[in-house]
Structure 1
Protein backbone atom coordinates (compact mmCIF):
# COMPACT_ATOMS: atom_id res chain seq x y z
CA UNK A 1 0.00 0.00 0.00
CA UNK A 2 1.30 3.43 -0.95
CA UNK A 3 0.34 6.89 0.24
CA UNK A 4 -1.20 7.67 -3.14
CA UNK A 5 -3.60 4.73 -2.69
CA UNK A 6 -4.85 6.25 0.57
CA UNK A 7 -5.12 9.64 -1.12
CA UNK A 8 -7.31 8.15 -3.85
CA UNK A 9 -9.35 6.14 -1.36
CA UNK A 10 -10.13 9.14 0.87
CA UNK A 11 -11.28 11.19 -2.13
CA UNK A 12 -13.72 8.46 -3.26
CA UNK A 13 -14.86 7.79 0.33
CA UNK A 14 -15.67 11.44 0.88
CA UNK A 15 -17.32 12.06 -2.49
CA UNK A 16 -19.02 8.61 -2.74
CA UNK A 17 -18.85 9.14 -6.48
CA UNK A 18 -15.95 8.02 -8.69
CA UNK A 19 -16.50 10.74 -11.27
CA UNK A 20 -16.53 13.56 -8.70
CA UNK A 21 -13.51 12.06 -6.93
CA UNK A 22 -11.62 11.87 -10.24
CA UNK A 23 -12.32 15.53 -10.97
CA UNK A 24 -11.21 16.44 -7.46
CA UNK A 25 -7.96 14.57 -8.04
CA UNK A 26 -7.51 16.06 -11.52
CA UNK A 27 -7.43 12.65 -13.19
CA UNK A 28 -9.74 10.56 -15.35
CA UNK A 29 -12.12 8.03 -13.82
CA UNK A 30 -10.79 4.72 -15.25
CA UNK A 31 -7.29 5.03 -13.70
CA UNK A 32 -8.90 5.98 -10.38
CA UNK A 33 -11.16 2.95 -10.43
CA UNK A 34 -8.16 0.78 -11.26
CA UNK A 35 -6.17 2.16 -8.30
CA UNK A 36 -9.04 1.48 -5.91
CA UNK A 37 -9.37 -2.10 -7.20
CA UNK A 38 -5.62 -2.62 -6.69
CA UNK A 39 -5.96 -1.40 -3.11
CA UNK A 40 -8.88 -3.74 -2.45
CA UNK A 41 -6.98 -6.67 -3.94
CA UNK A 42 -3.94 -5.92 -1.81
CA UNK A 43 -6.05 -5.71 1.36
CA UNK A 44 -8.20 -8.67 0.39
CA UNK A 45 -11.45 -6.85 1.20
CA UNK A 46 -14.09 -4.77 -0.57
CA UNK A 47 -13.99 -1.14 0.51
CA UNK A 48 -17.02 0.06 -1.47
CA UNK A 49 -20.47 -1.24 -2.40
CA UNK A 50 -21.02 -0.33 -6.02
CA UNK A 51 -24.35 -0.23 -7.80
CA UNK A 52 -25.39 1.44 -11.02
CA UNK A 53 -26.83 4.32 -9.01
CA UNK A 54 -24.66 4.70 -5.89
CA UNK A 55 -21.40 4.07 -4.12
CA UNK A 56 -21.18 3.46 -0.37
CA UNK A 57 -18.56 2.32 2.10
CA UNK A 58 -18.43 -1.19 3.47
CA UNK A 59 -17.65 -1.66 7.19
CA UNK A 60 -14.05 -2.31 6.15
CA UNK A 61 -14.07 0.92 4.17
CA UNK A 62 -15.45 2.85 7.17
CA UNK A 63 -12.64 1.49 9.34
CA UNK A 64 -9.96 2.34 6.78
CA UNK A 65 -11.30 5.87 6.31
CA UNK A 66 -10.69 6.73 9.96
CA UNK A 67 -7.08 5.57 9.84
CA UNK A 68 -6.46 6.94 6.34
CA UNK A 69 -7.54 10.44 7.36
CA UNK A 70 -5.27 10.30 10.39
CA UNK A 71 -2.34 9.11 8.25
CA UNK A 72 -2.93 11.85 5.67
CA UNK A 73 -3.11 14.47 8.43
CA UNK A 74 0.11 13.22 9.97
CA UNK A 75 1.80 13.26 6.57
CA UNK A 76 0.69 16.88 6.06
CA UNK A 77 2.00 17.81 9.50
CA UNK A 78 5.29 16.05 8.81
CA UNK A 79 5.75 17.95 5.55
CA UNK A 80 5.02 21.28 7.25
CA UNK A 81 7.42 20.46 10.10
CA UNK A 82 10.23 19.47 7.75
CA UNK A 83 9.74 22.64 5.73
CA UNK A 84 9.73 24.73 8.93
CA UNK A 85 13.00 23.12 10.04
CA UNK A 86 14.53 23.85 6.63
CA UNK A 87 13.59 27.52 7.12
CA UNK A 88 15.04 27.55 10.64
CA UNK A 89 11.63 28.06 12.26
CA UNK A 90 11.68 24.74 14.15
CA UNK A 91 14.34 22.33 15.39
CA UNK A 92 17.14 22.58 17.94
CA UNK A 93 19.74 25.30 18.52
CA UNK A 94 22.52 24.74 21.08
CA UNK A 95 23.92 28.03 22.37
CA UNK A 96 26.96 28.50 24.60
CA UNK A 97 28.08 31.58 26.49
CA UNK A 98 30.41 32.79 29.21
CA UNK A 99 28.94 33.82 32.54
CA UNK A 100 29.66 37.52 32.26
CA UNK A 101 27.98 37.63 28.84
CA UNK A 102 24.74 37.84 30.82
CA UNK A 103 25.76 41.41 31.71
CA UNK A 104 25.81 42.43 28.03
CA UNK A 105 23.06 42.52 25.38
CA UNK A 106 23.39 38.78 24.70
CA UNK A 107 20.37 37.73 26.83
CA UNK A 108 18.25 40.30 24.98
CA UNK A 109 19.35 38.81 21.66
CA UNK A 110 18.35 35.34 22.89
CA UNK A 111 14.97 36.63 24.07
CA UNK A 112 14.30 38.38 20.75
CA UNK A 113 15.15 35.20 18.85
CA UNK A 114 12.85 33.11 21.04
CA UNK A 115 10.00 35.57 20.49
CA UNK A 116 10.46 35.38 16.72
CA UNK A 117 10.91 31.60 16.56
CA UNK A 118 9.12 30.06 19.57
CA UNK A 119 9.08 26.55 18.03
CA UNK A 120 12.87 26.30 18.02
CA UNK A 121 14.06 24.47 21.12
CA UNK A 122 17.10 26.24 22.56
CA UNK A 123 19.66 24.62 24.83
CA UNK A 124 21.70 27.21 26.73
CA UNK A 125 25.07 26.21 28.17
CA UNK A 126 27.39 28.29 30.34
CA UNK A 127 30.99 27.25 29.70
CA UNK A 128 34.46 28.73 29.53
CA UNK A 129 36.00 29.80 26.23
CA UNK A 130 38.14 26.66 25.97
CA UNK A 131 35.20 24.37 26.73
CA UNK A 132 32.96 26.04 24.16
CA UNK A 133 35.64 25.74 21.47
CA UNK A 134 36.00 22.02 22.18
CA UNK A 135 32.22 21.52 22.03
CA UNK A 136 31.88 23.41 18.74
CA UNK A 137 34.73 21.38 17.25
CA UNK A 138 32.96 18.18 18.33
CA UNK A 139 29.61 19.39 16.90
CA UNK A 140 28.11 19.39 20.39
CA UNK A 141 27.41 23.13 20.25
CA UNK A 142 26.06 25.21 17.35
CA UNK A 143 27.22 28.64 18.46
CA UNK A 144 29.17 30.08 21.38
CA UNK A 145 30.11 33.41 22.92
CA UNK A 146 33.77 33.45 23.90
CA UNK A 147 36.37 35.91 25.17
CA UNK A 148 39.51 36.31 23.08
CA UNK A 149 42.29 38.76 22.16
CA UNK A 150 43.86 37.21 19.05
CA UNK A 151 41.02 36.05 16.84
CA UNK A 152 39.52 32.58 16.62
CA UNK A 153 40.60 29.18 15.20
CA UNK A 154 40.67 28.98 11.39
CA UNK A 155 37.79 26.50 11.14
CA UNK A 156 35.42 28.95 12.83
CA UNK A 157 33.55 32.01 11.70
CA UNK A 158 33.05 34.79 14.23
CA UNK A 159 31.19 37.99 14.87
CA UNK A 160 32.49 40.70 17.19
CA UNK A 161 29.80 41.22 19.82
CA UNK A 162 31.56 43.54 22.25
CA UNK A 163 35.04 44.92 22.88
CA UNK A 164 35.86 46.47 26.24
CA UNK A 165 38.77 47.25 28.57
CA UNK A 166 39.72 45.44 31.74
CA UNK A 167 38.95 47.11 35.07
CA UNK A 168 40.37 46.55 38.53
CA UNK A 169 37.98 45.12 41.11
CA UNK A 170 39.14 45.94 44.63
CA UNK A 171 37.79 45.98 48.17
CA UNK A 172 35.99 49.10 49.29
CA UNK A 173 38.44 51.07 51.42
CA UNK A 174 41.54 49.69 49.68
CA UNK A 175 44.26 52.38 49.30
CA UNK A 176 44.12 52.08 45.49
CA UNK A 177 40.39 52.83 45.59
CA UNK A 178 41.27 56.46 46.32
CA UNK A 179 42.62 56.80 42.77
CA UNK A 180 40.39 57.66 39.81
CA UNK A 181 42.39 55.18 37.72
CA UNK A 182 45.07 52.71 38.76
CA UNK A 183 48.40 52.48 36.87
CA UNK A 184 49.42 48.89 36.22
CA UNK A 185 52.71 49.53 38.06
CA UNK A 186 50.77 50.12 41.30
CA UNK A 187 49.73 46.45 41.34
CA UNK A 188 53.22 45.29 42.36
CA UNK A 189 52.77 43.10 45.45
CA UNK A 190 48.95 43.28 45.34
CA UNK A 191 47.35 39.82 45.76
CA UNK A 192 45.35 38.97 42.65
CA UNK A 193 42.35 36.70 42.17
CA UNK A 194 42.10 35.69 38.50
CA UNK A 195 40.28 33.25 36.27
CA UNK A 196 42.01 29.87 35.69
CA UNK A 197 44.46 29.81 32.79
CA UNK A 198 42.97 26.55 31.43
CA UNK A 199 39.61 28.28 30.96
CA UNK A 200 40.95 31.14 28.79
CA UNK A 201 44.64 30.41 28.10
CA UNK A 202 45.30 33.04 25.40
CA UNK A 203 43.57 35.81 27.35
CA UNK A 204 45.29 34.78 30.58
CA UNK A 205 48.73 34.79 28.94
CA UNK A 206 48.09 38.20 27.37
CA UNK A 207 47.09 39.60 30.74
CA UNK A 208 50.16 38.22 32.52
CA UNK A 209 52.36 39.49 29.67
CA UNK A 210 51.03 43.02 30.19
CA UNK A 211 52.16 42.84 33.84
CA UNK A 212 55.56 41.58 32.78
CA UNK A 213 55.96 44.33 30.17
CA UNK A 214 55.17 46.90 32.86
CA UNK A 215 57.88 45.44 35.09
CA UNK A 216 55.37 43.98 37.52
CA UNK A 217 55.21 40.43 38.84
CA UNK A 218 51.57 39.33 38.95
CA UNK A 219 50.97 37.90 42.41
CA UNK A 220 48.14 35.48 41.65
CA UNK A 221 47.02 34.00 44.97
CA UNK A 222 43.77 32.39 43.88
CA UNK A 223 42.04 31.16 40.69
CA UNK A 224 38.25 31.12 40.47
CA UNK A 225 36.05 29.99 37.58
CA UNK A 226 33.10 32.27 38.33
CA UNK A 227 33.29 36.05 38.43
CA UNK A 228 30.80 36.31 41.29
CA UNK A 229 33.02 34.04 43.38
CA UNK A 230 35.96 36.31 42.66
CA UNK A 231 33.90 39.34 43.69
CA UNK A 232 32.99 37.67 46.98
CA UNK A 233 36.64 36.99 47.75
CA UNK A 234 37.54 40.58 46.87
CA UNK A 235 34.77 41.87 49.15
CA UNK A 236 36.23 39.69 51.91
CA UNK A 237 39.55 41.50 51.48
CA UNK A 238 41.47 38.51 50.15
CA UNK A 239 42.83 40.35 47.11
CA UNK A 240 41.95 42.32 43.99
CA UNK A 241 40.66 41.01 40.68
CA UNK A 242 40.61 42.07 37.03
CA UNK A 243 37.35 41.92 35.14
CA UNK A 244 35.94 43.11 31.79
CA UNK A 245 34.26 46.50 32.14
CA UNK A 246 30.73 45.13 31.66
CA UNK A 247 31.06 43.19 34.91
CA UNK A 248 31.22 46.45 36.88
CA UNK A 249 27.53 47.01 36.08
CA UNK A 250 26.70 44.22 38.53
CA UNK A 251 26.99 45.96 41.89
CA UNK A 252 28.16 44.03 44.95
CA UNK A 253 28.50 45.59 48.41
CA UNK A 254 32.09 45.94 49.55
CA UNK A 255 33.53 46.08 46.02
CA UNK A 256 34.51 49.03 43.81
CA UNK A 257 35.89 49.25 40.29
CA UNK A 258 38.60 51.47 38.88
CA UNK A 259 39.95 51.78 35.30
CA UNK A 260 43.44 50.40 34.71
CA UNK A 261 46.15 52.53 33.12
CA UNK A 262 48.77 50.82 30.99
CA UNK A 263 49.24 48.66 27.94
CA UNK A 264 46.52 46.11 28.68
CA UNK A 265 44.79 43.67 26.31
CA UNK A 266 41.20 44.54 25.47
CA UNK A 267 39.15 41.35 25.59
CA UNK A 268 36.69 40.78 22.78
CA UNK A 269 33.44 38.92 23.17
CA UNK A 270 32.99 37.03 19.91
CA UNK A 271 30.11 34.90 18.73
CA UNK A 272 31.67 31.83 17.08
CA UNK A 273 30.39 28.93 15.00
CA UNK A 274 31.72 26.32 12.57
CA UNK A 275 32.15 27.58 9.02
CA UNK A 276 30.45 24.49 7.61
CA UNK A 277 27.44 24.56 9.95
CA UNK A 278 24.42 24.63 7.58
CA UNK A 279 21.70 25.02 10.23
CA UNK A 280 19.11 27.60 9.06
CA UNK A 281 18.24 28.30 12.71
CA UNK A 282 21.83 29.43 13.28
CA UNK A 283 21.57 31.99 10.46
CA UNK A 284 18.38 33.42 11.96
CA UNK A 285 19.96 33.55 15.42
CA UNK A 286 22.95 35.48 14.09
CA UNK A 287 20.60 38.02 12.55
CA UNK A 288 19.20 38.77 16.02
CA UNK A 289 22.68 38.85 17.58
CA UNK A 290 23.78 41.52 15.10
CA UNK A 291 20.97 43.76 16.29
CA UNK A 292 22.21 43.68 19.88
CA UNK A 293 25.98 43.72 19.52
CA UNK A 294 28.14 46.58 20.75
CA UNK A 295 31.50 46.60 19.02
CA UNK A 296 32.89 49.21 21.42
Structure 2
Protein backbone atom coordinates (compact mmCIF):
# COMPACT_ATOMS: atom_id res chain seq x y z
CA UNK A 1 0.00 0.00 0.00
CA UNK A 2 1.34 3.40 -0.96
CA UNK A 3 1.25 6.13 1.67
CA UNK A 4 -0.19 8.48 -0.96
CA UNK A 5 -3.14 6.15 -1.53
CA UNK A 6 -3.66 5.70 2.22
CA UNK A 7 -3.79 9.48 2.51
CA UNK A 8 -6.46 9.54 -0.22
CA UNK A 9 -8.39 6.82 1.61
CA UNK A 10 -8.31 8.61 4.98
CA UNK A 11 -9.41 11.88 3.41
CA UNK A 12 -12.36 10.20 1.67
CA UNK A 13 -13.26 8.34 4.88
CA UNK A 14 -13.40 11.68 6.71
CA UNK A 15 -15.37 13.52 4.02
CA UNK A 16 -17.55 10.62 2.81
CA UNK A 17 -17.91 12.53 -0.44
CA UNK A 18 -15.70 12.08 -3.50
CA UNK A 19 -16.05 15.66 -4.64
CA UNK A 20 -15.17 17.23 -1.29
CA UNK A 21 -12.33 14.75 -0.72
CA UNK A 22 -10.87 15.49 -4.16
CA UNK A 23 -11.10 19.22 -3.51
CA UNK A 24 -9.38 18.83 -0.15
CA UNK A 25 -6.64 16.74 -1.78
CA UNK A 26 -6.36 19.29 -4.60
CA UNK A 27 -6.83 16.66 -7.28
CA UNK A 28 -9.66 15.91 -9.68
CA UNK A 29 -12.27 13.32 -8.77
CA UNK A 30 -11.37 10.61 -11.36
CA UNK A 31 -7.81 9.96 -10.02
CA UNK A 32 -9.27 9.66 -6.51
CA UNK A 33 -11.86 7.12 -7.67
CA UNK A 34 -9.20 5.12 -9.51
CA UNK A 35 -6.87 5.10 -6.47
CA UNK A 36 -9.61 3.88 -4.13
CA UNK A 37 -10.66 1.16 -6.58
CA UNK A 38 -7.06 -0.02 -6.92
CA UNK A 39 -6.69 -0.08 -3.14
CA UNK A 40 -9.81 -2.21 -2.79
CA UNK A 41 -8.50 -4.59 -5.45
CA UNK A 42 -5.11 -4.80 -3.73
CA UNK A 43 -6.72 -5.58 -0.37
CA UNK A 44 -9.45 -7.73 -1.89
CA UNK A 45 -11.93 -5.90 0.30
CA UNK A 46 -14.70 -3.38 -0.30
CA UNK A 47 -13.88 -0.27 1.74
CA UNK A 48 -16.83 1.96 0.83
CA UNK A 49 -20.47 1.44 0.02
CA UNK A 50 -21.57 3.77 -2.73
CA UNK A 51 -25.19 4.57 -3.55
CA UNK A 52 -27.36 7.46 -4.60
CA UNK A 53 -27.45 8.74 -1.02
CA UNK A 54 -23.64 9.02 -0.74
CA UNK A 55 -20.65 7.09 0.54
CA UNK A 56 -20.13 5.24 3.79
CA UNK A 57 -17.41 3.00 5.20
CA UNK A 58 -17.79 -0.75 5.35
CA UNK A 59 -16.60 -2.75 8.35
CA UNK A 60 -13.34 -3.42 6.48
CA UNK A 61 -13.05 0.29 5.76
CA UNK A 62 -13.54 1.17 9.44
CA UNK A 63 -10.73 -1.25 10.35
CA UNK A 64 -8.39 0.12 7.70
CA UNK A 65 -9.11 3.71 8.75
CA UNK A 66 -7.67 3.09 12.22
CA UNK A 67 -4.57 1.36 10.84
CA UNK A 68 -4.07 3.90 8.05
CA UNK A 69 -4.12 6.80 10.49
CA UNK A 70 -1.50 5.03 12.60
CA UNK A 71 0.70 4.35 9.57
CA UNK A 72 0.45 7.92 8.32
CA UNK A 73 1.27 9.25 11.80
CA UNK A 74 4.31 6.97 12.01
CA UNK A 75 5.40 8.07 8.56
CA UNK A 76 5.13 11.72 9.53
CA UNK A 77 7.03 11.06 12.77
CA UNK A 78 9.79 9.16 10.95
CA UNK A 79 10.18 11.96 8.43
CA UNK A 80 10.32 14.63 11.14
CA UNK A 81 12.84 12.66 13.21
CA UNK A 82 15.00 12.10 10.13
CA UNK A 83 15.01 15.83 9.41
CA UNK A 84 15.89 16.53 13.06
CA UNK A 85 18.80 14.07 12.97
CA UNK A 86 20.08 15.61 9.73
CA UNK A 87 19.95 19.06 11.35
CA UNK A 88 21.62 17.73 14.50
CA UNK A 89 18.77 18.68 16.85
CA UNK A 90 18.15 15.11 18.04
CA UNK A 91 20.16 11.93 18.03
CA UNK A 92 22.80 9.90 19.80
CA UNK A 93 26.51 10.68 20.10
CA UNK A 94 29.11 8.15 21.26
CA UNK A 95 32.08 9.94 22.83
CA UNK A 96 35.43 8.44 23.78
CA UNK A 97 37.71 10.33 26.14
CA UNK A 98 40.97 10.16 28.07
CA UNK A 99 40.84 10.90 31.79
CA UNK A 100 42.65 14.23 31.58
CA UNK A 101 39.84 15.65 29.41
CA UNK A 102 37.70 15.82 32.56
CA UNK A 103 39.97 18.68 33.66
CA UNK A 104 40.24 20.26 30.23
CA UNK A 105 36.70 21.50 29.69
CA UNK A 106 34.82 18.28 28.88
CA UNK A 107 32.22 18.59 31.70
CA UNK A 108 31.52 22.21 30.74
CA UNK A 109 31.21 21.26 27.06
CA UNK A 110 28.74 18.47 27.88
CA UNK A 111 26.67 20.85 30.00
CA UNK A 112 26.57 23.38 27.15
CA UNK A 113 25.63 20.60 24.71
CA UNK A 114 22.74 19.60 26.96
CA UNK A 115 21.45 23.17 26.93
CA UNK A 116 21.68 23.65 23.15
CA UNK A 117 20.72 20.08 22.18
CA UNK A 118 18.41 18.79 24.96
CA UNK A 119 17.19 15.87 22.81
CA UNK A 120 20.69 14.55 22.09
CA UNK A 121 22.00 11.67 24.19
CA UNK A 122 25.77 11.47 24.72
CA UNK A 123 27.20 8.09 25.76
CA UNK A 124 30.74 8.23 27.14
CA UNK A 125 33.53 5.66 27.13
CA UNK A 126 36.87 6.23 28.87
CA UNK A 127 39.66 4.59 26.90
CA UNK A 128 43.24 5.22 25.87
CA UNK A 129 44.10 6.89 22.58
CA UNK A 130 44.77 3.69 20.61
CA UNK A 131 41.51 2.11 21.80
CA UNK A 132 39.56 5.19 20.79
CA UNK A 133 41.03 5.30 17.28
CA UNK A 134 40.03 1.67 16.84
CA UNK A 135 36.56 2.56 18.09
CA UNK A 136 36.29 5.29 15.46
CA UNK A 137 37.44 2.97 12.68
CA UNK A 138 34.99 0.27 13.74
CA UNK A 139 32.19 2.88 13.99
CA UNK A 140 31.70 2.26 17.72
CA UNK A 141 32.61 5.89 18.50
CA UNK A 142 31.60 9.14 16.80
CA UNK A 143 34.11 11.45 18.50
CA UNK A 144 37.32 10.75 20.41
CA UNK A 145 39.35 12.92 22.79
CA UNK A 146 42.91 11.63 22.77
CA UNK A 147 46.46 12.54 23.68
CA UNK A 148 48.75 13.83 20.97
CA UNK A 149 48.80 11.24 18.22
CA UNK A 150 49.04 11.02 14.43
CA UNK A 151 45.54 10.17 13.19
CA UNK A 152 45.24 7.46 10.54
CA UNK A 153 43.73 7.95 7.09
CA UNK A 154 40.04 8.75 7.10
CA UNK A 155 40.20 10.33 10.58
CA UNK A 156 40.04 14.10 10.97
CA UNK A 157 41.66 15.87 13.91
CA UNK A 158 41.51 19.19 15.68
CA UNK A 159 43.71 20.51 18.47
CA UNK A 160 41.55 21.30 21.51
CA UNK A 161 44.13 21.86 24.26
CA UNK A 162 47.81 22.85 24.05
CA UNK A 163 49.36 23.42 27.48
CA UNK A 164 52.74 23.01 29.19
CA UNK A 165 53.90 20.09 31.25
CA UNK A 166 54.47 20.83 34.93
CA UNK A 167 56.38 18.93 37.59
CA UNK A 168 54.19 17.03 40.05
CA UNK A 169 55.92 16.48 43.41
CA UNK A 170 55.01 14.94 46.76
CA UNK A 171 54.57 17.80 49.20
CA UNK A 172 57.71 16.94 51.25
CA UNK A 173 60.01 16.90 48.20
CA UNK A 174 62.97 19.33 48.51
CA UNK A 175 62.22 20.85 45.09
CA UNK A 176 58.90 22.18 46.44
CA UNK A 177 60.94 25.12 47.78
CA UNK A 178 61.64 26.28 44.20
CA UNK A 179 59.24 28.55 42.31
CA UNK A 180 60.17 26.83 39.03
CA UNK A 181 62.25 23.72 38.32
CA UNK A 182 64.97 22.93 35.82
CA UNK A 183 64.16 19.54 34.34
CA UNK A 184 67.72 18.36 34.96
CA UNK A 185 67.07 18.65 38.70
CA UNK A 186 64.90 15.52 38.48
CA UNK A 187 67.86 13.38 37.45
CA UNK A 188 68.04 11.56 40.79
CA UNK A 189 64.30 11.03 41.15
CA UNK A 190 62.20 8.04 40.19
CA UNK A 191 59.70 8.92 37.49
CA UNK A 192 56.10 7.78 37.30
CA UNK A 193 55.12 7.59 33.65
CA UNK A 194 52.36 6.61 31.26
CA UNK A 195 52.74 3.11 29.88
CA UNK A 196 54.25 3.03 26.41
CA UNK A 197 51.53 0.54 25.44
CA UNK A 198 48.77 2.96 26.45
CA UNK A 199 50.19 6.22 25.10
CA UNK A 200 53.46 5.72 23.24
CA UNK A 201 53.54 9.36 22.09
CA UNK A 202 53.41 10.74 25.64
CA UNK A 203 55.85 8.15 26.92
CA UNK A 204 58.35 9.02 24.20
CA UNK A 205 57.83 12.78 24.57
CA UNK A 206 58.58 12.79 28.30
CA UNK A 207 61.47 10.38 27.90
CA UNK A 208 63.01 12.61 25.20
CA UNK A 209 62.54 15.70 27.37
CA UNK A 210 64.65 14.05 30.06
CA UNK A 211 67.30 12.90 27.58
CA UNK A 212 67.56 16.45 26.27
CA UNK A 213 68.53 17.51 29.81
CA UNK A 214 71.25 14.96 30.18
CA UNK A 215 69.69 11.96 31.86
CA UNK A 216 67.65 8.86 31.14
CA UNK A 217 64.81 8.81 33.68
CA UNK A 218 64.57 6.00 36.19
CA UNK A 219 60.99 4.89 35.63
CA UNK A 220 59.46 3.58 38.86
CA UNK A 221 55.92 2.85 37.66
CA UNK A 222 54.12 2.81 34.31
CA UNK A 223 50.34 3.26 34.58
CA UNK A 224 47.28 3.73 32.33
CA UNK A 225 45.70 6.93 33.67
CA UNK A 226 46.85 10.41 34.67
CA UNK A 227 44.96 10.12 37.95
CA UNK A 228 47.00 7.01 38.71
CA UNK A 229 50.17 8.98 37.98
CA UNK A 230 49.44 11.79 40.42
CA UNK A 231 47.95 9.41 43.01
CA UNK A 232 51.24 7.51 43.12
CA UNK A 233 53.10 10.82 43.45
CA UNK A 234 50.89 11.81 46.38
CA UNK A 235 51.84 8.50 48.03
CA UNK A 236 55.53 9.36 47.73
CA UNK A 237 56.30 6.81 45.01
CA UNK A 238 58.13 9.23 42.75
CA UNK A 239 57.69 12.41 40.70
CA UNK A 240 55.99 13.04 37.37
CA UNK A 241 55.69 15.40 34.43
CA UNK A 242 51.99 15.99 33.87
CA UNK A 243 49.72 18.35 31.90
CA UNK A 244 49.09 21.61 33.74
CA UNK A 245 45.34 20.83 33.82
CA UNK A 246 45.93 18.18 36.49
CA UNK A 247 46.65 20.92 39.01
CA UNK A 248 42.86 21.28 39.15
CA UNK A 249 42.31 17.72 40.39
CA UNK A 250 42.75 18.72 44.03
CA UNK A 251 44.44 15.60 45.40
CA UNK A 252 46.12 16.17 48.78
CA UNK A 253 49.86 16.00 49.47
CA UNK A 254 50.82 17.26 46.01
CA UNK A 255 52.74 20.27 44.77
CA UNK A 256 53.00 21.45 41.16
CA UNK A 257 55.80 23.60 39.76
CA UNK A 258 56.39 24.99 36.25
CA UNK A 259 59.43 23.97 34.25
CA UNK A 260 62.17 26.41 33.41
CA UNK A 261 62.89 26.91 29.72
CA UNK A 262 61.11 25.80 26.58
CA UNK A 263 59.70 22.28 26.36
CA UNK A 264 57.23 20.30 24.24
CA UNK A 265 53.64 20.78 25.31
CA UNK A 266 50.86 18.43 26.33
CA UNK A 267 48.10 18.27 23.73
CA UNK A 268 44.56 16.95 23.57
CA UNK A 269 43.08 16.29 20.14
CA UNK A 270 39.55 15.63 19.00
CA UNK A 271 39.27 12.93 16.33
CA UNK A 272 36.31 11.94 14.18
CA UNK A 273 35.60 10.12 10.94
CA UNK A 274 35.65 12.35 7.89
CA UNK A 275 32.59 10.59 6.47
CA UNK A 276 29.73 10.58 6.97
CA UNK A 277 29.58 14.16 8.26
CA UNK A 278 27.77 14.54 11.58
CA UNK A 279 26.28 17.85 12.73
CA UNK A 280 26.27 16.51 16.30
CA UNK A 281 30.05 15.99 16.20
CA UNK A 282 30.53 19.53 14.94
CA UNK A 283 28.23 20.93 17.65
CA UNK A 284 30.13 19.19 20.46
CA UNK A 285 33.46 20.23 18.93
CA UNK A 286 32.37 23.87 19.09
CA UNK A 287 31.47 23.49 22.77
CA UNK A 288 34.77 21.73 23.49
CA UNK A 289 36.79 24.53 21.91
CA UNK A 290 34.89 27.17 23.87
CA UNK A 291 35.12 25.27 27.15
CA UNK A 292 38.87 24.66 26.73
CA UNK A 293 39.44 28.38 26.29
CA UNK A 294 37.72 29.04 29.61
CA UNK A 295 39.81 26.54 31.60
Partner of 2:174 in structure 1? 175
Q: Deviation per CA, 1:40-72, whole angstroms, max 9, x where unpaired? A: 222222211222222211111111111111111
Partner of 1:259 in structure 2? 258
Partner of 1:107 in structure 2? 107
Aligned: 1:36 with 2:44:
no
Partner of 1:250 in structure 2? 249
Q: Deviation per CA, 1:92-123, whole angstroms, max 9, x where unpaired? A: 22211110111121221122122222322322
Partner of 2:133 in structure 1? 133
Counterpart CA distance in 1 for 2:137 and 2:56 is 61
Higher deviation after alignment, 284-293 or 183-192: 284-293
Aligned-residue offset at 1:277: 3.6
Aligned: 1:166 with 2:155:
no
TM-score after normalising by structure 2: 0.93
Partner of 1:73 in structure 2? 73
Q: Deviation per CA, 1:63-90, whole angstroms, max 9, x where unpaired? A: 1111111111011111111111222223
Equivalent pair of 1:142/1:277 in contact (CA under 8 Å): no
TM-score after normalising by structure 1: 0.93
Partner of 2:55 in structure 1? 55
Q: Deviation per CA, 1:144-168, whole angstroms, max 9, x where unpaired? A: 11221x7644543222211111111
Secondary structure of the 1:278 match is: coil
Secondary structure of the 1:281 match is: helix
Aligned-residue offset at 1:23: 0.5
Counterpart CA distance in 2 for 1:36 and 1:274 is 48
Secondary structure of the 2:101 match is: helix
Partner of 2:272 in structure 1? 273
Per the alignment, do residues 295 and 151 of structure 1 end up closer, same or farther by CA in structure 2, a change over 3 Å counting? farther
Structure 2: unaligned runs, 5 residues or longer: none
Per the alignment, do residues 84 and 190 of structure 1 end up closer, same or farther by CA in structure 2, a change over 3 Å counting? same
Q: Deviation per CA, 1:200-246, whole angstroms, max 9, x where unpaired? A: 21221121111111102201110111222222222221111221001
Higher deviation after alignment, 12-21 or 100-109: 100-109
Equivalent pair of 2:206/2:241 in contact (CA under 8 Å): no
Equivalent pair of 2:194/2:202 in contact (CA under 8 Å): no
Counterpart CA distance in 2 for 1:78 and 1:256 is 56
Q: Deviation per CA, 1:3-27, whole angstroms, max 9, x where unpaired? A: 2221111000001111110001111
Structure 1: unaligned runs, 5 residues or longer: none
Partner of 2:86 in structure 1? 86
Counterpart CA distance in 1 for 2:91 and 2:102 is 24
Please, what is the CA RMSD of the aligned residues? Answer: 1.9
1:227-242 equivalent positions in 2, closer than 5 A: 227-242=226-241
Counting matched residue pairs gives 295
